[in-house]
Structure 1
Amino acid sequence: MDNQLADTKKETLLQWISLVGLAVVLAIIFIILGVNHFQVSDPYSKNVLSLQGDPLKGQAIFQMNCAGCHEWPTDSQVGPSLEGISQHKSDVAIIKQVVSGQTPPMPQFQPNEQEMADLLSYLKQI
């Protein structure tokens, strides 16, 4: 009788583990599909990500448009340091942040697709 009870508990536990594993796999698939859907549904980001960025040109764009608020060696920056930003945000999130202007006092900035690819390549290096 005790062996039957132990076997039933083991079987129940294995079923529960299988269901949790399935739920995790499905969650991962939905997350991946969601990110891919966002990238595909946003033609600007999709085009930017398809281009080869030039970090030197990106640095020049950064100096002209971003450094006044995001230059990290100074203590008087208005915006946060962008050093290591690509380790914290995805490429799509960085692009959206740059072009949206939804984080006051950051202005809306509308670089063309190549300029954004250049800026993104520079941001990945800092």
Structure 2
Amino acid sequence: MILLLLVIILLLLCSLVGVYLYRVSDPYIQNVLTIQGDPQRGHAIFEINCAGCHGVYGDGNVGPSLQHISKRRSDVVLIQQVISGETPPMPKFQPNPQDMADLLHYLKTL
């Protein structure tokens, strides 16, 4: 019984590592991570695409607060969250890599 439990735990851990490695190896994400973002441009992108739900200052509205989000989520997870559309009602949104880098750097200022 204990051996079965250990096997299940090991399989779950391997699955999580696999998902993380898949995300990290995504060419779009890798491209975004190599670009120096401009937080001022990111702020403009945020106001147009995100502020309606997350609030003008990222303090939450319909969507959750994004204050200090970079302390709770890695860059890879933040990019994946924005582009995936896996968190309804947040729409799938895939800006060009420079815009995503700008948005990512703005999120770090919240």
Same fold, TM-score > 0.5, yes or no: yes
TM-score bracket for the superposition, by shorter chain length: 0.7 to 0.9
> Residue 117 of structure 1 is aligned with which of 79, 96, 101?
101
Query: Superposition pairs for residues 62-73 of structure 1, below 5 Å?
Result: 62-71=46-55
Contact kept, 8 Å, 1:69 with 1:78, in 2: the verdict is yes
> Residue 104 of structure 1 is aligned with which of 88, 104, 107?
88
Name structure 1 gaps, 5 residues minimum.
Answer: 1-30
* Count, aligned residues: 95
In the alignment, the residues of structure 2 paired with residue 94 and residue 106 of structure 1 have an alpha-carbon distance, to the nearest angstrom, of: 13
Aligned-partner SS, 1:45: helix
TM-score normalised over the length of structure 1? 0.67
| Corresponding residue for residue 66 of structure 2 | 82
In the alignment, the residues of structure 1 paired with residue 108 and residue 61 of structure 2 have an alpha-carbon distance, to the nearest angstrom, of: 20
TM-score normalised over the length of structure 2? 0.76
Name structure 2 gaps, 5 residues minimum.
Answer: 1-16
Report the structure number with the largest CA radius of gyration.
Answer: 1
In the alignment, the residues of structure 2 paired with residue 76 and residue 38 of structure 1 have an alpha-carbon distance, to the nearest angstrom, of: 26
Contact kept, 8 Å, 1:58 with 1:121, in 2: the verdict is yes
